[in-house]
Every structure is written in C-alpha cells, then in structure tokens.
C-alpha cells in the first residue's frame, strides 16, 4: 500500500485538519509520505492536478485521491474494519 499526504506547512499535528489525518494514519499503522504544500492555494498546482481542487489535506492512497479530513478519517477507519482479524489460539 502506498500513501501520500499533501498537507499545509503547519509544523505540528495538533493545530489543523492536516494534522488530524496524519495522527489517524499513524494510529492505523499506515506508512505514508508527507508533502508539505504552501499556505496559499495558488501554489498548490500538484494538489489541483491530483484532485481537481486546491484544498488540503489530500490523501492519495493506492492511487485514489481523497479530500476533506472527515472523509479521509472515515475511509481509513473503514479500511481498518475491512482487514481480517488474526485469530488468537
């Protein structure tokens, strides 16, 4: 699985929606690459190319772009629920 999180340049994971997604990715155990984009939307050409809009956070996971922190977190939790549970002996 490959995941890339396009996020704002805020230096902490506690102040913005981008940080919420980063925390959820770590909580889910998903390895991801981080791409920090400019605060100004006019400098987010790559984000627009991938999603059709200039808003972050944007998560590209297995080639699928997902926008909006709530939708991303919901998707990550859905993926976690789909994983088979290892049986305990």
Model pLDDT, residue 1: 76
* Contact (CB, 8 A) for 16 and 31: no
Domains (range + CATH), the chain: 3-82 (3.40.30.10)
pTM of the model: 0.88
Model pLDDT, residue 87: 58
The 10s digit of each residue's pLDDT in 31-88 is 999 999 999 999 999 999 999 999 999 999 999 999 999 999 999 999 989 877 655 5
Question: Rounded to whole angstroms, how far apart are CA atoms 4 and 23?
Answer: 14
Task: Evaluate if residue 14 carries a pLDDT over 80.
Answer: yes
């Amino acid at each position: 699985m490959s995941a890339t999180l396009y996020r704002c340049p805020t230096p902490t994971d506690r102040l913005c929606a981008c940080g919420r997604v980063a925390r959820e990715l770590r909580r889910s155990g998903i390895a991801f690459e981080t791409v920090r984009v400019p605060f100004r939307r006019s400098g987010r050409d790559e984000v627009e190319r991938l999603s059709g809009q200039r808003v972050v956070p944007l998560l590209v996971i297995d080639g699928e772009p997902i926008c909006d922190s709530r939708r991303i977190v919901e998707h990550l939790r859905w993926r976690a629920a789909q994983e088979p549970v290892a049986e305990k002996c």
